[in-house]
Amino acid sequence: MRKLMIFLLGCITTSLSLAKEVSFKQDILPVLMNRCAICHLKEDRHGYLVIDEENAYAGLVNIPSYTLPSMKRIEPGQPDKSYFWLKITDQHLAVGGKGWEMPYMSSLSDAEIQQIHDWIMNGAPDN
């Protein structure tokens, strides 16, 4: 039992220390502006999610998702409980979500997805 506990603790610390330092303004926001803003600039039918320089952070972190209000768009520290994360990794239908993988008709690179994962793991700071 103790061995199992130590093993699990090891897994948790390893996954935490693997999360690299990521800046929202320098690393994440440019991706959102380049790949998402074209459809998400206005609060309308696109899931009522507004992505622009000023509102992106406030509209994502700790905000209930429009489609699945029981889940936040971004739950700091928990990518698997973040609807935004599930949408960009095509896992949203499995939790009762709707619609398409984001970005619609396209996808982010593995490196971009990894960076967003690390940023959420780090607590999704406004840095």
- Which part of the chain contacts ligand HEC (CB under 6 A), choosing from 4-12, 21-29, 103-111, 119-127? 103-111
- At position 58, the amino acid (one-letter code) is A
Which residue type is seen at 13? T
Q: What one-letter code names the amino acid at 92?
A: H
Amino acid at 103: P
Nearer of residues 19 and 33 to ligand HEC, judged by Cβ:
33
The first and second tokens of residue 72, run together, are 């936040």
Binding test (CB under 6 A) with ligand HEC, winner from 22, 24, 28, 35:
35
CA distances from 121 to 18, 69, 74, 100 (A): 10, 21, 10, 24
Looking only at residues 43 through 102 of this chain, which bind ligand HEC when binding is defined by CB under 6 A? 46-47, 49, 65-67, 73, 83-84, 87-88, 98-100, 102
The answer to whether 125 touches 77, Cβ cutoff 8 Å, is no
Residue 106 CB, shortest distance to ligand HEC, in Å, is: 7
When asked if residue 117 is in the footprint of ligand HEC (CB under 6 A), the reply is no
Angle, vertex CA 13, rays to CA 83 and CA 31, nearest 5: 40
Per CB under 6 A, the list member of 61, 72, 103, 117 interacting with ligand HEC is 103
Residues forming the site for ligand HEC (CB under 6 A): 35-36, 38-40, 46-47, 49, 65-67, 73, 83-84, 87-88, 98-100, 102-104, 108
